[in-house]
Amino acid sequence: MKLEPRLLAVTENFKAQIPAEVFNTIVAAIGALMRSDTFKAALKPGDMLPSFALPDANGQIVSSRELLARGQLMLTFYRGDWCPYCNLALKALHDQLPVFRAAGTSLVAVSPQKPDHSLTTRERLELDYPVLSDVGNVLARQLGIVFSLVNELRPLYTNFGIDINSYNGDGRFELPLPATFLIGSDGKILERFLEIDYRKRIEPETAVSWVRTHAARQAKEETHMKTYYGRCHCGTVNFEVDTDLSGPFRCNCSLCSRRGTTIEIVPATRFRLISGEEALTKYGGRDFSKHFFCRTCGIQCFTRLTVNMKLENEPSIGVNLGCLNEVDLSTLEPKVFDGAHML
């Protein structure tokens, strides 16, 4: 059964139990929030997930680093244990756990509640996945999905028996949007569900489609991926890189055209500097790129990039393919990148 009809039933039941003016006040607040620009800076697909380390329902710290080391991450935010819409959505995603796990995807829920309330959520709904406490909405704020409960709603929530400050423990009337993100193992946001009307939630079928699509795409990429060993001329600097050599290019900027290197850009997570870090010296006149050379033999081994034409905002490495063993540059057909006119 789809989630939407069950959410609509909650709304109809709630509407039947409260005065019309109260319901209208709530609907008006939702409309005002939808017309605002509160969430215009919310992170989107292509952006990097901010790193985090948050306590679970038992007080144990769970970090984004350990979660992403296992594969994809489905990160879903909920308002609190007191929200019936959240409870339905959390349970609906729980029912898809076998599919998520088969695709190598971890499911994690996050709210601004204190850990003891997170424990209540997990136990009452019998959730078999981590429920984390983002007290103060620190992570939610970095994602751009936090809003303040307007003054008109605060006494209404109190009358409903919902003490936001008691649940969250931060003295603020702030909540996250019930957003859901799918994050790749490299930390890049792949998909996003962002609905300002909290009565609407991601359909489980949509989440399943996300997971299966990106898991299949990653599996296809890994089929053609190979680990190459690289080094400078004198052997002081050594590194490994995972790449399929699908995007070699030559840059026509002043430096690269004189250097004559063929480059491949990879996510920083696919590059590992094995030795020689102390022997590296860097050069770069632009903030987004720093070229690293062996100070002994002078060979430029790689470039660290913060923005580039291939991987958007993802931290990346431009590898000098001439430094890689088992790569015959004569077999490659590099494209030309117009770095001379970039920025």
Q: Which residue has the higher pLDDT, 342 or 197?
A: 197
- For residue 176 the two structure tokens come to 């996250």
- For residue 269 the two structure tokens come to 């997570």
pLDDT in tens, 264-307: 999 888 899 999 999 999 987 566 688 999 999 999 999 988 75
Lowest mean pLDDT among 11-20, 152-161, 259-268, 271-280: 259-268
Cα separations in angstroms, 247 against 208, 264, 333, 340: 30, 6, 9, 19
pLDDT in tens, 43-68: 999 999 999 999 999 999 999 999 99
pLDDT greater than 70 at residue 342: no
Which residue of the set 86, 251, 294, 323 is catalytic?
Answer: 86
Q: Report the Cα 138 to chain-centroid distance in Å.
A: 15
Residue 315: closest CA among 323, 324, 306: 306
Domain limits of the chain? 3-220, 226-341
- 246: confidence class by pLDDT, cuts 50, 70, 90: confident
Average pLDDT over residues 139-150: 96
State the CB neighbour count (10 A cutoff) for residue 34: 12
Give the neighbor-by-neighbor strand order of the sheet with 131-133: 131-133, 105-111, 72-77, 180-183, 189-193
pTM for the model: 0.70
pLDDT for 285 equals 57
pLDDT for 286 equals 62
Q: Name the class of domain 3-220.
A: alpha beta
| Beta-sheet strands, E only, within the chain | 53-55, 61-63, 72-77, 105-111, 131-133, 146-148, 174-176, 180-183, 189-193, 226-231, 238-243, 249-251, 263-267, 271-275, 280-286, 289-294, 300-305, 316-320, 335-337
- For residue 138 the two structure tokens come to 């620190």
Mean per-residue pLDDT of the chain: 91
**Residue 234 annotated in active site:** no
pLDDT for 307 equals 54
Are 278 and 307 within 8 A, CB to CB?
no
Question: Hey, which residues does 75 pair with through a beta bridge?
Answer: 108, 181
Question: Hey, which residues does 318 pair with through a beta bridge?
Answer: 265, 303
Coil, strand or helix: which one is 12? helix
pLDDT for 312 equals 47
Question: Hey, which residues does 294 pair with through a beta bridge?
Answer: 280
Q: Name the class of domain 226-341.
A: mainly beta
Taking the CA atoms of 207, 213, 219 and 221 in sequence, report the sign of the dihedral they define. negative
pLDDT for 283 equals 87
